[in-house]
């Protein structure tokens, strides 16, 4: 007769408590180590003459992350407190965590990172090949929150250098409202800001309780006065603008037809493409494609072989 292992509830709960305590201590040590490696100059703070702490002080991290000093101190003391994804996101930015460190932070805190990763499982190799084949047309894949999940080389240079933007910040709403290169590239910026805010409100209707959406709106309200003003209008936007005008920093004015190719309408995933609306724009897209191809060959000599 096969024996049956018996697990006592109090044993299981004790093991779970031990696991949480270990994670809290790991989280505390990780935060402390990341805090100590960042110099005040890196975050725009004066060093002063009496600084003994390596890196940043706890109160400086708390201030930069908009959290209470006592609360952050408890985190580094491994106290049993709840950490929201909004706070984890703020700490990750303040401590300048890379993608691996950010993932580690959320894992230690037992939370799910709501921002898009550098790669998305829904972006299949077939879709990536389609993006490449569409060149010289700019094209990308976005979700309903306007996160840019994948893009081809020409789209990466359409409004600046998208490769230089951290993956977690590759969001059209953020870029239109906060990124200097994107803002300088949009011909009718004020109109675009108002339309984008209205589009976000329309898209958000089915995601009102989701942390990632609330975090995005909070960041936009904090960093963009124009977004705050437009968001309070409570406008929603349904019919898309088909013609877009961009001042590309490398090839000049582009007049483009904007098209959404829906991949999964229920989730808002779509391929966004831009086709030239006139001969000048077609020639300029060809020049932009030649430019990014040349740059890639210079960076990867084996690609030219």
- pLDDT band of 6, cuts 50, 70, 90: low
Strand boundaries in 15-142, DSSP class E: 139-142
Residue tagged 């799910």 (tokens) = 112
Among 11-25, 128-142, 156-170, 175-189, where is mean pLDDT lowest? 11-25
Instruction: Please report how many Cα atoms fall inside a 13 Å half-sphere around the Cα of residue 7, on the Cβ side.
Output: 6
Residues 76 and 25 sit within 8 Å (Cβ to Cβ)? no
Tokens describing residue 155: 């789209």
Delineate the domains of the chain, giving CATH numbers in brackets.
18-45+53-109 (1.10.260.40), 125-190+239-299 (3.30.450)
Strand boundaries in the chain, DSSP class E: 139-142, 148-151, 243-248, 252-264, 269-276
SS3 123: coil
Average pLDDT over residues 188-205: 92
Q: How far is CA 103 from the centre of its chain?
A: 13
Is the predicted pLDDT of residue 116 greater than 70, yes or no? Answer: no
Q: What value does the mean pLDDT of the chain take?
A: 85
What pLDDT score was predicted for residue 176?
97
């Amino acid at each position: 007769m096969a024996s049956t292992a018996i697990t006592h509830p109090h044993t299981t709960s004790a093991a779970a408590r031990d696991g949480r305590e270990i994670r809290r201590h790991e989280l505390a040590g990780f935060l402390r180590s990341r805090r100590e490696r960042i110099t005040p100059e890196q975050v725009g703070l004066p060093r002063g003459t009496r600084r003994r702490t390596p890196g940043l002080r706890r109160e400086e991290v708390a201030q930069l992350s908009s959290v209470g000093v006592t609360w952050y101190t408890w985190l580094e003391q491994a106290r049993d407190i709840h950490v929201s994804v909004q706070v984890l996101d703020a700490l990750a930015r303040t401590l300048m965590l890379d993608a691996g460190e950010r993932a580690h932070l959320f894992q230690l805190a037992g939370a799910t990172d709501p921002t898009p990763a550098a790669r998305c499982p829904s972006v299949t190799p077939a879709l990536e090949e389609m993006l490449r084949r569409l060149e010289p047309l700019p094209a990308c894949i976005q979700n309903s929150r306007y996160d840019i999940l994948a893009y081809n080389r020409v789209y990466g240079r359409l409004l600046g250098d998208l490769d230089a933007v951290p993956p977690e910040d590759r969001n059209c709403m953020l870029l239109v409202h906060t990124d200097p290169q994107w803002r300088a590239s949009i011909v009718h910026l004020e109109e675009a800001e108002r339309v984008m805010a209205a589009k976000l409100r329309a898209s958000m209707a089915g995601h009102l309780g989701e942390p990632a959406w609330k975090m995005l709106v909070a960041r936009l309200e904090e960093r963009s006065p124009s977004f705050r003003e437009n968001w309070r209008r409570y406008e929603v936007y349904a019919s898309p603008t088909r013609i877009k005008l961009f001042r590309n920093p490398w090839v000049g004015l582009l007049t483009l037809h904007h098209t959404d190719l829906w991949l999964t309408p229920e989730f808002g995933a779509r391929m966004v493409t831009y086709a030239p609306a006139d001969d000048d724009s077609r020639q300029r897209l060809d020049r932009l494609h030649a430019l990014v191809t040349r740059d890639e060959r210079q960076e990867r000599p084996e690609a030219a072989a």
